[in-house]
Structure 1
Amino acid sequence: MSASSAHPGVGASHHRTPIELTALVSGGIFALVGILGFIPGITTNYSQMTFAGHDSGALLLGVFQVSILHNIVHLLFGAAGLLMGRTAAQSRYFLLGGGVVYLAIWLYGLLIDQGSGANFIPINTADNWLHAVLGVAMIVLGYVLGRDMTGAEQKG
């Protein structure tokens, strides 16, 4: 067996699967959102941004409440997608696991008082519904794109 057949991408170009492309694009978008959260103008009320907590007045695109912590979470989530998007199995884990995390954050956002200290990320109503949509979309994409994976792809 040649080195290129044993290790895709070494000595030959690696053909990205749809699930890998989806994880890579998702990771890139999350990273971009994390960066945009630190840019005044794209983030309104930028001077009101706090490290964490419900009292952050900064709004990404004038809609989604953000804080330094919230932006860092987006950056870390983006890095995870970019790193895990290198193989089909890891891409599937990223999409399914990330979807579960986003649905958990959505439920958390529904259950807490948004004006309390429990809202440490911070989350507003627009964030809540975006988290629900992202969670469902990631799980559906992970399942649908992952079901056609070969046995070798599933093992990573």
Structure 2
Amino acid sequence: MSSRTAGTGTARTSVQMVALAFGAVFLLVGILGFIPGITSNYDQLSFASHHSEALLLGIFQVSVLHNVVHLLFGVAGIALAKTWSGARGYLLWGGVIYLLLWIYGLFIDHDSNANFVPVNGADNWLHLVLGIVMVAFALLLTRDSDRTTPATTVR
């Protein structure tokens, strides 16, 4: 599956489009984490620690650090989606990072200083799903190792 990008005559592979979509969503989530109303308890947003009681969408515990990480992860996804190998690496290693973050969130005491990100139970389950989905996309969309897109005839 490929699609033409406007005006450039180049095509993006499926893995590049998925990485671009993940990057855009992470960028959006990072921005939303700084918007009162979308983030409840916004007045309790702290830089980094389990003391941040701000909740994105009223569910996911966030801090300034957490939001900045989402912003950076989004920018990385958008930048790395420009190439097949960059997109694959972003999805694969980003997924691994989220799986490690899930394990971290399972084993730390959420009320301790070790929870500096911060994460809560909802974050943990989201990190598990994100990790599995990102790794799956990286592997499934690149399993044939075809780094080129199908040729299209322009008339």
Matched, 1:117 2:91: no
1:35-90 per-position Cα deviation (integer Å, ceiling 9, x unaligned): 00000000000000000000101000000000000000000000110000001111
Deviation at 1:13, TM superposition (A): 1.5
**Is residue 24 from structure 1 mapped to residue 20 from structure 2 by the alignment?**
yes
Instruction: Give distance in 2, aligned partners of 1:79 and 1:149.
Output: 25
Counterpart residue number, 1:54 = 50
Are 2:77 and 1:69 aligned? Answer: no
Kept in 1, the 8 Å contact 2:13–2:148? The answer is no
Give the alignment of 1:71-90 within 5 angstroms. Answer: 71-90=67-86
Query: Paired residue for 1:107?
Result: 103
Residues 31-46 of structure 1 aligned to structure 2 (within 5 Å): 31-46=27-42
- TM-score, normalised via structure 2 length: 0.89
Q: RMSD of the alignment, in Å?
A: 1.5
Is the helix fraction higher in 1 or 2? 1
C-alpha contact (below 8 Å) 2:84/2:147 kept by paired residues: no
1:96 aligns with 2:96: no
Structure 1 SS opposite 2:11: coil
Give the conservation status (yes or no) of the 8 Å contact 1:99–1:136: yes
1:145 corresponds to which residue? 141
Q: Distance in 2 between matches of 1:22 and 1:149?
A: 16
> Which 4+ stretches in 1 moved above 6 angstroms?
none
Could you tell me which runs of 5 or more consecutive residues in structure 1 were left unpaired when the two chains were aligned: 1-8
| Cα distance in structure 2, aligned partners of 1:105 and 1:151 | 30
Name structure 2 gaps, 5 residues minimum.
150-155
- AA paired with 2:52? S
Given that residues 40 and 55 in structure 2 are in contact (C-alpha distance below 8 angstroms), is that contact kept between their aligned partners in structure 1? yes
Q: Does 1:128 align with 2:124?
A: yes
Q: TM-score, normalised by structure 1?
A: 0.89
